[in-house]
Structure 1
């Protein structure tokens, strides 16, 4: 896979899967736009770590509707055109129905859908418009195995990812005549920096038992699947959802 001369925008790209994906694209010759919401220091560190030249930071809170259009406009202004959009940014809020009050419940649903679905839908809209003007492109969104197996402690998360899957497959059909290819990667639990910082030993042990490989996914493994779906070789795989969960959940 060669992305020389391609311009790639990745949301939530300062850490974790987004950072690994930015690194992978940069190593393959792409110019990368790193979208992040607030942590300037971490974003600058990620930018400095990318091989190659021409990469840039784009600080925008994509949960805000007007920010999605502004992000795409900023990117196109700086890079000239958008070839690949990777919708990676997402949030996860615990809201167990038998343990939280109604305000917590409704807030979790609203916040989760704002970032995990509505922001992605809006970015797909503006991103696709930009791609139509230049002959096409690729859109890859990061979902979750939770879309299929359920998320009892955070049902809004599972529901938002299931909706993201359905939306992506609808767009794959609609955007095909415009030479825009749409794919989804659905990871299991991934061993990001944040996970290492927040997991208790017991939680980590439970996660390790979920996969017959007795380990969690590495961010680079998820990034590899994203790059495949963003490549010209994967054009006829438009509409595909790739599971990257170590056989922890099979469908």
Structure 2
């Protein structure tokens, strides 16, 4: 399949800030055109759009927990960019809900929200984007943002850990089914990395323990994770389809 190394049409979900912004910036710097999706942070998403190198990028705002919204996102991206070659499933929710402290009604609502956004939206976007890639006939790439927590457990965020484990499994299933169409599917499983959302934890009393999780005694930058996503979406990465790439600075080693 003739997947180009640059000039691709890329959809990044949840790209208003943090890792999504870094991923969008990495693809734009590579010479690709990017559809920047956001759910509710319109101002931050516009800042992401304004930070991208090159031209032809587009902003798309919809709620991915609604299947109709997910379809509108892919349709809008394909219309604005002229198709979709790469999908990065980054949008996710992560709400603290330890079982012993969380009332049942809240527990149910939190799980439903995590499943709707982290898993079902990822599945729906993957279906919609992959069908477009198949129709285009040039192959493509899907890269899912998973988590180290899928392997080591998330006691304060169990729905997050469980849905990210499901995202890894989904990616491996799709890697097998979509390979005949020249579409590679892989996932990354980051550990702790710096974003606006976790800045207060790093400067607070938990900061030293977080840094000590890795023998490098630091956490990753969002650009380090984005660089791995960019490579997994490259033509050279086809043989990594089905992989779940650990990006945690040796803070958790799988056997």
TM category, shorter: over 0.9
Describe the SS at the equivalent of 1:51: coil
Residue pair 1:25, 1:32 contacting (<8 A) in 2 also: yes
Q: Secondary structure at the match of 1:86?
A: strand
Shift of 1:104: 1.3
Pairing 1:209–2:198 present: no
Quick one: distance in 2 between partners of 1:87 and 1:107?
A: 22
C-alpha separation between the residues in 1 aligned to 2:127 and 2:36? 19
C-alpha separation between the residues in 2 aligned to 1:22 and 1:130? 20
Output the CA distance in 1 between the equivalents of 2:49 and 2:97.
34
1:69 corresponds to which of 71, 94, 98:
71
C-alpha RMSD over aligned residues: 1.1
2:162 is matched with 159
C-alpha contact (below 8 Å) 1:10/1:88 kept by paired residues:
yes
Partner in structure 1 of residue 130 of structure 2 = 128
State the 4+ residue runs in structure 1 displaced beyond 4 angstroms: 197-200
- The aligned runs of 1:92-241 (5 Å cut-off) are 92-135=94-137, 136-197=139-200, 199=202, 201-241=204-244
TM-score, normalising length: structure 1: 0.97
SS at the partner of 2:193?
coil
Using the size of structure 2 for normalisation, the TM-score is: 0.95
Residues matched between the structures, number: 250
Structure 2 stretches lacking a partner, 5+ long: none
**Mapped partners of 2:200, 2:11: distance in 1:** 27
Is the 8 Å Cα contact of residues 201 and 207 (structure 2) preserved in structure 1? Answer: no
Structure 1 gaps of 5+ residues are none
Deviation, structure 1 residue 199 = 4.9
